[in-house]
Amino acid sequence: SLRVAPVRLLAPSTELNATVTVNGLQSNAPQVATEIDLRGDDLPMLFRMAGVADLASRLGQLSDRSFTLQSTVAAQPARGQLSLSNLQLNLLGTAVTGTVEAGNLNTDAPLLRGELDAQGPNLPSVLEVIGQVTGGNNSRLAEGGRLMQQVPDKAFNINARFDANLQRGTVDVPRLDMRVLGASVSGNVNAGALNSDEPNARGQLQASGPDLPLLMQIGGGRLADTFGGKVVLGAGVYAKFREHGSTQRIFG
């Protein structure tokens, strides 16, 4: 094994401290474990340095431009495995805690499971930043964040547990409690056969808020993009809309 500690990198208004351990260097699938502590005072400046001027300009209008990230990261790149435990992220006034495990990242059918609790004042900007970092300016997440900027109420609170296996074509969300885009949604959803011509879903959702049509449009569009053009919140998903006081079947 190889241990490198500590690693300290300094950039303008940014500091990274990390401890790196590598095991199985002589094997076909070495394992990397890292303790990360990243913090900075000016996130817009980093995007300006990266040439993303439009996003940097929008972020520059926010009062809180600082960011911190602490987590224990374990990875096995040859097998496409990555886990984040003890995750604590503070970004643009948003606080995120939880754990995430991912597998098969080197394939077209990744696995993703975890628990997340997040709350903050500006969901569109957070999504655009994450999308920019993970997939570039034209990523689905970045585009979705820009689309959501039209909603007056940008604050959000999300608590969820999830387990997605795109190899089997299943997504299980046994716990979902969120307030986004001025709407409140709670419940659970279990979807299957997402990689087939006949996807199915079961669950119970309770929703209320003035911008539900826009929320469903954005959410449905993102799901359709993710699962090959099929909106999968279809057969057997029921939603209770508090404005109507009744439980209704949605999307078929």
This prediction has a pTM of 0.75
Q: So what's the pLDDT on residue 211?
A: 58
Q: So what's the pLDDT on residue 69?
A: 94
CA distance 179 to 158: 6
Share of the chain above pLDDT 70, in %: 79
Question: pLDDT tens-digit profile of 203-244?
Answer: 888 877 765 555 555 554 444 444 343 333 433 444 444 444
Asked whether the predicted pLDDT for residue 162 surpasses 90, the reply is yes
Q: So what's the pLDDT on residue 115?
A: 96
Q: So what's the pLDDT on residue 164?
A: 92
Question: pLDDT tens-digit profile of 42-88?
Answer: 888 888 888 888 888 888 888 888 999 999 999 998 889 999 999 99
Which of 71-75, 142-146, 182-186 ranks highest by mean pLDDT? 71-75
Question: pLDDT tens-digit profile of 15-39?
Answer: 888 888 888 888 888 899 999 999 9
Q: So what's the pLDDT on residue 243?
A: 42
Looking at beta carbons, which pairs linking 27-32 to residues 24 or more positions away fall under 8 Å?
Answer: 28/78, 29/76, 29/78, 29/79, 30/76, 30/77, 30/78, 31/74, 31/75, 31/76, 32/73, 32/74, 32/75, 32/76, 32/77
Asked whether the predicted pLDDT for residue 245 surpasses 80, the reply is no
